[in-house]
Amino acid sequence: MNVLRLLKWLAGIVMSLVLLALVLLAFIDWNIMRAPISRWVSDSTGRSFAINGDLEVHLGLRPRLVINDLVLGNAAWSDKPNMLEIKQLDFSVNIFRLLTNGLAFSEIALSAPQVNLEVNRDGRPNWVFNDQKANQAIAIPDIDNLIIDQGSATYRDPRSKTELLFELKTRAGDQNNPSPGLEVVGKGRFNGLPITLNAQGGALLSLRSAENPCNQGKRGVG
């Protein structure tokens, strides 16, 4: 057997193993990864974390993950048990940009996300995990398209007598602005005074540009 024929045999074996691995990955029950992922997130944040629904992985040039019923626990000092609950998290990763520029998402879709943000009387926010410093900058990955359906968020700070409730959703585009945008409606008390908020933003990427700033609607104190 000459060298060229040997190389062809080796290439064929490698390709067969790759195809076999892809077939196995296509039919694997990804729910077996829920427990390891939950342990990793819990160890990283110091909070309880659970994926209570199915975990789906769709392989391709832009891998897509669907996580159902995920829950992130709150800080120990809070009277609310969970900081974050999401009915379904559906996102696609841009592999090319991941290898060249860092983490980037082609799309993130959130179904019924509920976020509870709060600061205790000592000034510590609940979005600070483990030994993270309160003023430490957080790197935000690139997101090409963000979709929110039936989202809600609360913010509480007893020091300033602030308690706000927000509803968030992605609005469809129109003739003037075909790109979908974010709509936020809020109410509550800020510095002890009642307040309402109605704001609409452009597409996620355009919000980073001064040429297309967020268009804010009515905001009042009564």
pLDDT of the residue at 121: 93
pLDDT of the residue at 12: 60
Inform me whether the pLDDT recorded for 204 exceeds 50.
no
pLDDT of the residue at 155: 96
pLDDT of the residue at 88: 97
Percentage of residues in the chain with pLDDT exceeding 70? 72
Picking from 181, 118, 115, 112, the residue whose alpha carbon sits closest to that of residue 145 is 181
- Tokens 């979005």 correspond to 127
Inform me whether the pLDDT recorded for 152 exceeds 50.
yes
Residue 199: which pLDDT band, with cuts at 50, 70 and 90? confident
pLDDT of the residue at 215: 42
pLDDT of the residue at 178: 63
> What span, in angstroms and rounded, lies between the C-alpha atoms of 201 and 184?
8
Of 96-100, 131-135, 193-197, the one with minimum mean pLDDT is 131-135
Picking from 91, 48, 59, 84, the residue whose alpha carbon sits closest to that of residue 69 is 84
